[in-house]
Every structure is written in C-alpha cells, then in structure tokens.
Amino acid sequence: MKKIACFVIIPAIFLVISACSEQTGNPPSDGVIEPSPPTETGDRVIYQLVAAETEAEVEPGLTLPFYTYGGTVPGQEIRVKQGQQLEVQLSNRLKEPITIHWHGYPVPNDMDGVPGLTQNAVQPGETFTYSFKAKVAGTYWYHSHQNSNEQVDKGLYGALIVEAEDDPYQVDREYVLILDEMNRDGSAGSAGGMMGRMMGGGASSYDIFTVNGKAGESIPDYPVKTGEKLRLRFINAGYTTHYMHLGSVPYKVIAVDGQIAKQPVTADNELLPVAPGERYDVLIEVPDAGFFIRDMLDDDAADGLRIPVVNLDSDRIFPERGYSGIFKISESQIGSGDWEKVAAPSYDKEYHMALSHGMSMGGVVYQINGRVFPDTEPLDVRKGDRVKVTLESRDPMFDHPMHLHGHFFQVLSKNGRPLKGDPVMKDTLLIRPGETYEVAFIADNPGDWMFHCHDLNHASDGMVTTVDYEGHEIADGIDRSHLKE
C-alpha cells in the first residue's frame, strides 16, 4: 500500500538516492537509510532492518526528527505468509539501545523483545536477529520496547502483516493505516503529559494526529476504484483512542486484533474506535464515489487526521451523514479467533487487577492493585492453566488499554454481563473509567510476559506487571536492571 502512495509523492531526487544505495543492499554511510526488500529462500523470509535517525515532513512546513526502522515513519512494513519463517536482522545505528517487540504476536518468549526480561537491549552498533514462525495470520505491529513511551513516540514502530493461507476475505486492494500522535515541538514521552491533558481540556496531550506519519495536507490520496473490495487495516501506534468515521460508507468489521471474525457485522455509519495497541480490519465494497476517513475525537488535533480515499472512476463524494453511534466490540457478536479453546466452566487461576492512578513524590503514577512496577504482583501460572483475569478500572479519569504479551485472551464479560453472541479474542483491551472486564487465556506459551497499559506513558509510570510461568527462569546473562517499561 505504501508503495502506491510513495510513487505518487516521492520527488525524483529521492529516487536517485535510493538508486545509489540499491547497489550493495547496504545503506550508505551518509545516514540515508532506505528500506531494503526482503529476500526469500525456501520458506524463510529475511528482512534487514536498520534503525537510524531521520527527518521527515509531517505536515506542510513541519519537518521533525525521528527514529526509524528502515528509514521511514512508520518503519518498513514486514509482510509474510502464514507458515513462513520470519527472520528480521536488526542493526542499531541509533545512539541508544533498542529492541523489537512483536505486538500481539505469540512468539517464543526469547523473541519477545523486552529488555531485561527476554533479552538484553540491542546496543548502538550491534545487531540482533529475531526469528520465528508466522503461525497465526492477521494484522499486527512491531515497536521498540526499550524506553518504549519515548522510542515509539519517536517513530520506532511499523506494521507486521501475516497473510492467511486461506483468507476468507479476498480483496482487490488493501491499505494499512497506522494512527499515531506527535508533538509539534518534536518532543517525546510523558513530560507534562497529564498536566497538559488536564489543563488543555483536549483528549490527548499531543497536538498532531497522524496516519502513516503524516497529517493534514501531507496525507497522500489513497486511490480506489468503483466496485473493488477494499480492506483497511487500522493499527493504533499512539496512546489515544481514535474514533474513525468512514465517510458514512458501510463497512464490515472482519478482524479484531488480527483475529478473523466468524460473523462479520456491517457497521452502519458507526464510528470505529481504535484504542492504543488495537487493530481492526474492515472490508468495504467501494461505492461509485470517493470518501474521507476522519478522526471524530473531540480534540483540535483530530481535524488534521483526514484521509482522502479518492475514487479513480468517479468524482462523486459519498454523501456523508453524522455518525449514528459507536461500534462496540462487546456488543458486536462477531465471534473472532479460537475462543472455543479457552471457554471453560472453571479456571485454574483467577487474578484481579484494579487499575488506578495516584500521586507520588515524582508526580503521577499509574497503579495495578495500588502498586507501581516493578513492585506489582506477577500473575503466576503453570503451563496448561486456564487463567481468568478481572480488569477493574478504579480510575475516574484515564483510559487504560491493557495489553498481554504472547497470548490472546477471550473477553468474557463487561460490567458483570457476559458478552453477547460468540466471544472475541484479543490481545489489547480498552478499559474506560469505571469499567470492569473479565478475560481468560490459556497459559500455552511458557516464559515471562509483560501485561501492561498501552498508553505507554502510563506504563512508564508504573502500570505494568508480568505473567510468570512456573519453572521458567530468565536466561543467564540478561541484565535485569534494564527491566523498565
């Protein structure tokens, strides 16, 4: 998808630069990094990913410094077929240590990219190879897990797409749309975040909302043709829930957090809320018209998040109406993923996680059961356990999109009521103020796994715990002192 957009907007000078670097496949030493295409041998797909600094235009007249995987923001798209062995050779040309975490993907524990828990961070000048079999299909993403609130803000993220062997949704065209927020002054992380939020009245403490690294007039046209089946893969790499309006064009929700829907529903002019860390795949039968996808969040920055879907066959614009409601996964009945495996009359372990915020000497902290990481209590499990977790918001103010590494969980209930229809499987679940959800997972992937809020500023200020398997030790040589979200 980026290719189509890129050919339209890349000036000729840029093509000259990329032609030079293509000779060796190695990036030139002047700091210009270009994504290099993957190589395939047998069922192995190898990506060489160089992490380096760059500058990029975010909107007309605004160029900001970024950290990148492969020279672009978002980072190079990583795309494999289900069943292939993915190998990503990461070289770090940044001045600080980094990792790659495969968000939502059930990788073996030592490939999970959490410094101090599953590996040591990759130091400047070092390389590290991530390798795992792409067993499950769907829309995922990757990002650094070292000082992640800052490094993800700076651009260290990209899409991971695993194409299904037998995808029930064959399409003519697809676009990956990665949503994010940035600061106009180029700053990253939580500095002033909460105060900014409380005083500014906006929904986000960031002041530009982006799609694929661009805002406002810098967002390219996304071409389509009448009658095409169009798949949009939404990924939220930011820390704010975005409420996407698809120009009143009917869309079907066909996957959630990578998990294919068994009974896809058509959302009739509803907003699609995409919480931090979540993914939604939607299917559109392109009407005889173009349309705009925009963020309806009540925040000034949302005005700049407006994606022109341009119909090459038609100058009409689809008649847009005010939205009729909000798509709610808890009421959608779409039945996604292998939930039958998880459903059980009873559970081997039950945990309760109360989410809250409070003040400490250093400022605001975000707590699980009143504690701040690393003093939070881990969830101890044994391989094969069925584990039920109650996620209860005791926070009157902030959303907490909770994300579990290495596993999918079934959403059992919301506010004491079982989900309607067939359950959904997720890896990231938004808990709004005052809400309580019950989720369940099977402990089928031994290791030490993080379970944390994906407002990464909240994670960095405490809202993190781990799922620890009995008998699994952190590998020798891993420096635990670096265990910091």
Matching residue, tokens 């803000």: 153
Residue number of the CB atom closest to ligand C2O: 103
Instruction: Report the nearest approach of ligand C2O to the CB of residue 307 (Å).
Output: 23
Q: CA 289, CA 367: separation in Å to the nearest integer?
A: 48
Any contact of residue 197 with Cu ion (CB under 5 A)? no
Which partner from the list ligand C2O, Cu ion, none does 75 bind, CB cut-off 5 to 8 Å by kind? none
- Token readout for 207 is 């002041």
- Region binding Cu ion by CB under 5 A among candidate stretches 126-134, 194-202, 229-237, 451-459: 451-459
Cα–Cα distance list, 445 to 142, 288, 385, 430, 470 (Å): 19, 47, 11, 23, 12
Of 152 and 246, nearer to ligand C2O (C-beta) is 152
Of 162, 189, 193, nearest in space to 82 by CA: 162
Any contact of residue 2 with ligand C2O (CB under 6 A)? no
Full DSSP string of 396-420: SS--EEEEESS--EEEEEETTEEPS
Any contact of residue 277 with ligand C2O (CB under 6 A)? yes
Of 237 and 284, nearer to ligand C2O (C-beta) is 237
Residue among 197, 405, 414, 458 that touches ligand C2O (CB under 6 A): 405
Of 400, 399, 416, 484, nearest in space to 450 by CA: 484
Which partner from the list ligand C2O, Cu ion, none does 145 bind, CB cut-off 5 to 8 Å by kind? ligand C2O
Which partner from the list ligand C2O, Cu ion, none does 414 bind, CB cut-off 5 to 8 Å by kind? none
Q: End-to-end CA distance of the chain, in Å? A: 32
Instruction: Report the nearest approach of ligand C2O to the CB of residue 269 (Å).
Output: 31
- At 236, give phi and psi (nearest 5°): -105, 110
Strands 325-326 and 270-274: parallel
Residue 70 Cα to chain centre, angstroms: 18
Strands 62-69 and 279-285: unpaired
Q: CA 57, CA 38: separation in Å to the nearest integer?
A: 26
Binding mask 453-472 for Cu ion (x = CB under 5 A): x-x--x--------------
Q: CA 147, CA 99: separation in Å to the nearest integer?
A: 10
Instruction: Report the nearest approach of Cu ion to the CB of residue 220 (Å).
Output: 32
Which partner from the list ligand C2O, Cu ion, none does 450 bind, CB cut-off 5 to 8 Å by kind? ligand C2O
Angle at 411 between CA 382 and CA 326, to 5 degrees: 155
Q: CA 370, CA 360: separation in Å to the nearest integer?
A: 12
Matching residue, tokens 């990578």: 258
Any contact of residue 365 with Cu ion (CB under 5 A)? no
Segments in 181-240 forming alpha helices (H): 193-200
Whether the bond between 378 and the residue before it is cis, its omega within 30 degrees of 0, is no
Any contact of residue 403 with ligand C2O (CB under 6 A)? yes
Which partner from the list ligand C2O, Cu ion, none does 400 bind, CB cut-off 5 to 8 Å by kind? Cu ion
Which partner from the list ligand C2O, Cu ion, none does 197 bind, CB cut-off 5 to 8 Å by kind? none
Instruction: Report the nearest approach of ligand C2O to the CB of residue 258 (Å).
Output: 13
Binding mask 107-146 for ligand C2O (x = CB under 6 A): ------------------------------------x-x-
Read off the DSSP letter of residue 132: E
Of 181 and 455, nearer to Cu ion (C-beta) is 455
Residue among 101, 245, 400, 407 that touches ligand C2O (CB under 6 A): 101
Which partner from the list Cu ion, ligand C2O, none does 453 bind, CB cut-off 5 to 8 Å by kind? Cu ion
Q: CA 152, CA 456: separation in Å to the nearest integer?
A: 9
Q: Which amino acid is at 126?
A: E
Which partner from the list Cu ion, ligand C2O, none does 143 bind, CB cut-off 5 to 8 Å by kind? ligand C2O
Which partner from the list Cu ion, ligand C2O, none does 455 bind, CB cut-off 5 to 8 Å by kind? Cu ion
Instruction: Report the nearest approach of ligand C2O to the CB of residue 193 (Å).
Output: 18
- Binding residues vs ligand C2O (CB under 6 A): 101, 103, 143, 145, 277, 403, 405, 450, 452, 454
- Binding residues vs Cu ion (CB under 5 A): 400, 453, 455, 458
